[in-house]
């Protein structure tokens, strides 16, 4: 199995070795994502699964049953990446799902429900600034108006999907009503599991972000001829906000139970020329916590700070809220099953929260859903050096297989009863 | 003359009105710059001037003499602009040069030396990050190796000039050895003249910049999953340097005789994605003073601050010196003539320094050279709202014409003697 995991990981990533100095770039709804999906289809067929592509381009590999049960148990993740990202974010979950099917098939397991391995389209927000497009479609929560949102080349989501042969108008048809439960496995993208000395994590809540766009308007002028006391330097003004954002998160963490993180992650400066004082600067701020009130507190403090900066640095500041999503609490019964699975197999685990968004947060709005984290080296993610060991992937395979045994096995009813007692 | 100035200003700017909400964009060695040069040629021919284009594409309109004198007296400036810049920076000097020729021709003046009105190519650094290309070629100080420097579209200087029909290898042939003296008129791009209640300025020194590229290397990571205390945020580290740069200039100004200005004018952040902690940030810093030791002091303090930031913010910083040009002192005898010209005509003036670089700084390395500043509204420059009044342009015409009377008139020898006495 471990050899199979290693070979299949490379196959899904379309490489001979996972050592890729510039990482992996498979943006959503591109030929690159398609190629990885084709690899997935090849592997799934070898495992005897039946392939369905839905109206949003999500690929589903189904383990059929002959017992007339319509309700499917679903597992899966995504294969798209950020620009120059890693080969594990998303792909690990797809790999482990296939591995769990292989394990169960090899032991002659017969599921009581059809099992769907879903590869969701365009999970990352790198291309269009919008994340989890495929799982939003499946969950029936995709806003059709985002079709006009464009990538850096001016190509809209609608144009991008149509170039691949899909119809944007049909995306709503991808909504599912036949899924009993969903479980995703993902690399942690942090070091909480490692720091706690455990083998895997089961996620309680997904910290969805508040995202702000802060536009600082100063006045452009010649860098050589404008005296220091006559300037309205937008970058100088913005530079006072950047440390404040992280300091505010650190300050709140000292007194709150749940953590909050806040980052100025993007900056655009205009005209960005050596001999011109910056006239306009736009900052993108990402604030996350499972505790929604903490996120709002950080956003409020940023707003107040901007008022001070406007006065002190002679500029005007506009704040737009790009995203304000309440955090998602995952299903408790699924959490229990995922913990039980590890307990049964002898793997140590912990309940934890996710700072990052995942397809599972949309699926939770459709059906009881759960998220398993496996460790990744140094917590590094969205980076060419992102890495999870085959050993940890194998633990994931065993946990997911055990979950499927619980969820779709004949012992299903029995184990539910015993866990309630 | 004022009506002619107004009409010719628009003609050189290729517009019907100077009110242009997005300003003027005529980057160096582009069709847009060419079109403005064609307008210049048309106007110069109407004034009876003879057109020469040199090997670097500089356009020279010559007032010939029949007295066998080879040595030319030169005046002029440039017509290229920054992106979305104003219609006066450079163009005002070209316009006033033509106006002075017109004035002298109309009064029947006969110069003792041929007079060259030079329009220098690509004075602004906006396109290639390299300024005053044309005047460097004429002065014989153009570094041929810069031919490989590229613009934002990846087009090299060599490719750009060859697309317009010039040969990069031939640029050295543009060097002149027949120029007696050179005078440029430019808008001040500041408010020193206005603040002093004077009508024009005569420049002593041009504050050439030290330009630094500061590369802050942190570590990219997921904004949602990386705890605040495990980050190496390159933007956070860079944000500590930005206020320091301006604070250092302000601090030194409090105790120094000559002013120094320092600006963080450019910033690039990678990967600049909403959900990724900034991994690499590059800042461009522009430091200017006529006092070279002050510039070096600012650069030294920035270097020291970077050492502190490296330690405190867990990142590494590299500093490249992009430009380190000693400031240029202009010819004293020309300064005297330019002051005399105003005194004679009844215009008030002051001796001042230039915070910005101009073609004249290269010409000073070839021949005695001078620079006249006229006021511009609010000191605004490199901006669509850049503006100089026709009245101030007319004063410029009179000063330049009077300079030409002194420099190329029969009273030349006499007035030199009297000014020495």
Q: Between residues B26 and B382, which one has the greater pLDDT?
A: B26
Residue A43 sits at φ, ψ, to 5 deg, of -65, -45
CA–CA distance, A1 with B105 (Å, rounded to integer): 94
Q: Bridge-partner residues for A73, per DSSP?
A: A115, A181
Q: Bridge-partner residues for B283, per DSSP?
A: B214, B267
- Please give the annotated binding residues of A, written as ranges: 78, 89, 124, 186, 211, 275, 288, 382
Per-residue pLDDT of chain A (421 residues; tens, 9 = 90+): 999 999 999 999 999 999 999 999 999 999 999 999 999 999 999 999 999 999 999 999 999 999 999 999 999 999 999 999 999 999 999 999 999 999 999 999 999 999 999 999 999 988 888 899 999 999 999 999 999 999 889 999 999 999 999 999 999 999 999 999 999 999 999 899 999 999 999 999 999 899 999 999 999 888 988 889 989 999 999 999 999 999 999 999 999 988 999 999 999 999 998 889 999 999 999 999 999 999 999 999 999 999 999 999 999 999 999 889 899 999 999 999 999 999 999 999 999 999 889 999 999 999 999 999 999 999 888 889 999 999 999 999 999 999 999 999 875 444 444 443 3
CATH of domain A2-207+327-420: 3.40.630.10
Comparing CA positions, the residue from B334, B89, B90, B379 lying closest to residue B203 is B334
CA–CA distance, B407 with A365 (Å, rounded to integer): 84
Token pair belonging to A321: 């809220």
Do A260 and A306 contact (CB within 8 A), yes or no?
A: no
CA–CA distance, B421 with B419 (Å, rounded to integer): 5
CATH of domain A209-324: 3.30.70.360
Give yes or no for B254 touching A (CB within 8 A): no
CA distance B135 to chain A (A): 18
Do A328 and A369 contact (CB within 8 A), yes or no?
A: no
Instruction: Scan for tokens 């098939």, then name that residue.
Output: A105
What residues does each domain of chain B span?
A: 2-207+327-420, 209-324
Give yes or no for B311 touching A (CB within 8 A): no
CA distance B241 to chain A (A): 9
Decide if B236 and A230 are in contact by the 8 Å CB cutoff. no
ipTM of the complex in this document:
0.78
CA–CA distance, A275 with A27 (Å, rounded to integer): 36
- Exposure pattern of B44-61 as b/e (b: 16+ CB <10 Å)? beebebeeebbbbbbbbb
Decide if A382 and B125 are in contact by the 8 Å CB cutoff. no
User: Taking residues B335-342, what's their average pLDDT?
Assistant: 98
Comparing CA positions, the residue from B381, B383, B403 lying closest to residue B187 is B381
pLDDT in tens, B282-331: 999 999 999 999 999 999 999 999 999 999 999 999 999 988 989 999 99
Q: CA dist A396 to A182, A337, A382, A402, B341, Å?
A: 15, 14, 20, 10, 86
- At B355, the pLDDT band (50, 70, 90 cuts) reads confident
Q: What is the pLDDT of residue B411?
A: 55
Decide if B236 and A242 are in contact by the 8 Å CB cutoff. yes
Comparing CA positions, the residue from B113, B166, B77, B69 lying closest to residue B393 is B77
Nearest to A222 among B84, B189, B250 (CB): B189
Q: What is the pLDDT of residue A317?
A: 98
Comparing CA positions, the residue from B359, B361, B372, B344 lying closest to residue B200 is B372
Neighbours of A28 (CB within 10 A): 29
CA–CA distance, A134 with A251 (Å, rounded to integer): 37
| Residue B182: its H or E element | strand B179-187
Decide if A264 and B235 are in contact by the 8 Å CB cutoff. yes
A126: chain B residues, CB-CB within 8 Å: 273
Same fold flag, B2-207+327-420 and B209-324 = no
């Amino acid at each position: 199995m471990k050899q199979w995991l290693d070979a299949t990981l490379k196959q899904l990533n379309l490489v001979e070795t996972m050592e890729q100095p510039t990482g992996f770039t498979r943006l959503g709804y591109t030929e690159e994502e398609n190629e990885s999906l084709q690899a997935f289809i090849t592997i799934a067929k070898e495992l005897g699964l039946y392939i369905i592509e839905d109206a949003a381009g999500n690929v589903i590999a189904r383990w059929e049953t002959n017992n007339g049960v319509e309700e499917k148990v679903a597992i899966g993740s995504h294969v798209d990446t950020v620009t120059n990202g890693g080969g594990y974010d998303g792909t690990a979950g797809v790999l482990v799902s296939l591995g769990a099917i292989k394990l169960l098939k090899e032991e002659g397991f017969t599921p009581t429900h059809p099992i769907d391995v879903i590869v969701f389209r365009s999970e990352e927000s790198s291309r269009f600034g919008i994340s989890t497009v495929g799982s939003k479609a499946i969950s029936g929560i995709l806003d059709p108006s985002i079709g006009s949102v464009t990538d850096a080349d001016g190509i809209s989501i609608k144009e991008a999907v149509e170039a691949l042969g899909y119809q944007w108008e049909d995306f709503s048809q991808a909504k599912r009503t036949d899924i009993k439960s969903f479980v995703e496995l993902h690399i942690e993208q942090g070091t909480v599991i490692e720091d706690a000395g455990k083998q895997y994590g089961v996620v309680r809540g997904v910290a969805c972000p508040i995202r702000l766009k802060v536009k600082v308007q100063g006045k452009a002028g010649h860098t050589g001829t404008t005296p220091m006391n006559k300037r309205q330097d937008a970058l100088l003004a913005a530079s006072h906000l950047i440390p404040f954002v992280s300091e505010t998160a650190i300050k709140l963490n000292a007194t709150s139970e749940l953590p909050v993180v806040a980052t100025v992650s993007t900056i655009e400066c205009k005209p960005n020329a050596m001999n011109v004082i910056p006239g306009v600067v736009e900052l993108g701020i990402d604030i996350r916590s499972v505790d929604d009130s903490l996120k709002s507190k950080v956003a409020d403090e940023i707003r107040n700070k901007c008022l001070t900066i406007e006065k002190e640095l002679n500029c005007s500041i506009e704040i737009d809220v790009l995203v304000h999503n309440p955090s998602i609490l995952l299903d408790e019964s699924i959490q229990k099953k995922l913990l039980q699975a590890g307990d049964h197999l002898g793997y140590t685990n912990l309940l934890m929260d996710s700072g990052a968004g995942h397809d599972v947060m949309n699926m939770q709005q459709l059906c009881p859903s759960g998220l398993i984290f496996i460790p990744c080296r140094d917590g590094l993610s969205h980076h060419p050096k992102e890495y999870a060991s085959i050993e940890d992937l194998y633990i994931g395979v065993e946990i997911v297989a055990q979950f499927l045994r619980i969820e779709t096995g004949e012992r299903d009813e029995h184990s539910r009863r015993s866990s309630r007692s």
